[in-house]
Amino acid sequence: MAEPHPSIDELLQRLASEDRTEQRRACDAATALLKVEPRFQSVLNRMLQDGTLRARFSAAWVLFQTSGPTLRLLPALLDSLESSDGDVRWSATHMLATLGRMHGEAVEVLLHVARTADSAQRRRMALYAVREVAPDRPETRVAVLDALDDDDSGVRRAALTSLAKLSEPDAACLLRALDALDQEDDPAMRRIAAVLIPDLVRHHPDRRSEARGRLESVRRSDDSALARAAEAALTRLD
């Protein structure tokens, strides 16, 4: 005998749950309910506008799965980039990237958010989304390079990792990565730079000697993780 569908009120409460497992189960239940009760979509549309951040993400996720990527999901997904739950942030990022592939307007919004959002976390996650959906666009390259000067270290690190994700990173991208090796005040940036420099050199083989010299200068660093990263990068260069 089929299990009865939960009451609407109970389901709405579960969709807003801070418990990740409960929220996922509620999303699955809502998806199943929507298949047999199309009028439930209007309830989800209201939640998409008026619910808590957690509830709005759940509504966006269910509607994304059932109705496809539509621009009405954009505000809720952008707000979800600031969720304290990493799974929610990354799910929203991937959905935004898919949205961008289908609607060019979404890419423009993501570029704007990556450059101007007040929240550093929103800027960082928007950067991840835009590099996924538009790695070949000149505007993405500009946004990534600009983000290397962001006030927030998390955004700067996201920008640095994004350099190697660009379809055609130019020489300026490689030079910024090489310069990051000298950032004594941010060991993480130095290690990230060492890891990705070989990938960038593939686009600029004429800079191989310069890259090797810069990596040689940090291979005996007191930072053992940086030294290992530089050693591995030198091996990849060869």
Count of other CB atoms within 10 angstroms of residue 75: 14
Interatomic CA distance for residues 95 and 20, integer angstroms: 18
Question: Does residue 197 have a pLDDT over 50?
Answer: yes
Q: What percentage of the chain reaches a pLDDT higher than 90?
A: 89
pTM confidence score? 0.89
Count of other CB atoms within 10 angstroms of residue 24: 15
| More confidently predicted of 101 and 238 | 101
CB–CB of 122/91 below 8 Å?
no
Our measurement of the distance from residue 225's CA atom to the centroid of its chain's CA atoms, rounded to an integer in Å, reads 25
Q: What integer is the mean pLDDT of 6-24?
A: 89
Interatomic CA distance for residues 134 and 110, integer angstroms: 10
Q: What integer is the mean pLDDT of 173-195?
A: 94
Question: Does residue 168 have a pLDDT over 70?
Answer: yes
Question: Does residue 2 have a pLDDT over 70?
Answer: no
What residue has token string 């020489």?
171
| More confidently predicted of 220 and 133 | 133
Q: What is the pLDDT of residues 35-65, one digit of tens each?
A: 888 889 999 999 999 989 999 999 999 999 9
| pLDDT value at residue 6 | 55
Q: What is the pLDDT of residues 77-110, one digit of tens each?
A: 999 999 999 999 999 999 999 999 999 999 999 9
Q: What integer is the mean pLDDT of 126-153?
A: 97
Question: Does residue 221 have a pLDDT over 60?
Answer: yes
Q: What is the pLDDT of residues 64-84, one digit of tens each?
A: 999 999 999 999 999 999 999
| pLDDT value at residue 184 | 79
Q: What's the mean per-residue pLDDT of the chain?
A: 94
CB–CB of 77/98 below 8 Å?
no
Q: What is the pLDDT of residues 26-39, one digit of tens each?
A: 999 999 999 888 88
| CA distance to 50, 208, 212, per residue, from 127 (Å) | 27, 28, 29
